[in-house]
Amino acid sequence: MENLIELEAAVLDSPASDSALLEEFEMAPTKAKPPEHAGEKSHVANWITAICAITVAVVSGTLWIAHQFSVLDKHISRVETAVRIVGAKEGGDTKTLIDEALQVALLDSKAGRIDGAKAVLAAANRWITEQNAAKIPATQQSFTTVLEKYQDLAKIPALSEPTHDGLLNLAEYRGTVAEPPRSESMSFFASVEHIPGGGIYLHDGSLTGERALVNSPQGTDIDGFVIKNVVFKDAVIVYRGGPLTLSNVTFINCRFIVPNSQRANELLAAVVQQPSNAQIS
């Protein structure tokens, strides 16, 4: 404290006159004054930099938010679909459950989630097999709706095998619940004729049992056949992909041995749409 008082007294009692102080000030070096517009340019540059940074931040933030909303929308869509599936299962409507599952498989495949699509397809195929074993009645419209979804899935090469399995299960299920047509001619053994140039014409009657018409070690091979007004019952139908014509044909409780091919899938689709009509060549 004493030192501060002494310093103050020394300054106040300084012998230097005002003129001397002024002279000393004038002789002291002065700092260069910046150009008049330099500060303004620097200020503008800073503002431009700030605006650019803000713009980048806003755009980046907008894109991120848009991406998050897109992810959220997809998630909500999948959750809603899952809820519908669970609701259908809890309500005991397995046909609706199968239909919803196939729709999920289609959405998964379009999104590139092939493994997920295969898993859902496997579940749908299993449910169809269970429906078949329990002989649960279903309308033709129900079969047609499911068939159309399988046909859409069949266009995706990566899903070829599970889709074919599903079509096979669906065709056999359709045959399990099919009713025989009311016609007196169906009580007779179908007529068999050889077609000039090759092929068999099978018409107007029925074939019952696995060995009703055995032309292969596995059962009834219908490659090259023209079949009209015929009912197959409890038969093993073999098809290898050759030309085939079906006209008003019914398959009741039949088993099918077919390859995984476009033509075989056409036959299975025709079986689902009973009575079956198809021209496969």
Confidence grade of residue 70 (pLDDT, cut at 50, 70, 90)? low
Positive or negative torsion for Cα 209, 215, 216, 222: negative
- The Cα–Cα gap between 277 and 199 comes to 18
**E-strand spans in 138-223?**
191-194, 200-208, 220-221
- The Cα–Cα gap between 103 and 90 comes to 18
Q: Is 160 or 212 the better-scoring residue by pLDDT? A: 160
What pLDDT score was predicted for residue 213? 87
What pLDDT score was predicted for residue 228? 96
Question: DSSP 3-state assignment of 231?
Answer: strand
pTM value is 0.70
- The Cα–Cα gap between 78 and 86 comes to 12
Pick from 144, 81, 141, 87: nearest CA to 108: 81
What pLDDT score was predicted for residue 41? 53
Spatial CB neighbours of 128, under 8 Å, sequence gap ≥ 6? 98, 146, 166, 169, 170, 173
Residue 89 pLDDT > 90:
no
**β-strand pairing of 220-221 with 236-238:** parallel
Spatial CB neighbours of 236, under 8 Å, sequence gap ≥ 6? 210, 218, 219, 220, 254, 255, 256, 257
Instruction: Report which DSSP code applies to 162.
Output: H
What pLDDT score was predicted for residue 264? 98
Residue 77 pLDDT > 80:
no
- The Cα–Cα gap between 213 and 21 comes to 132
Q: By mean pLDDT, which of 58-62, 141-145, 198-202 is the weakest?
A: 58-62
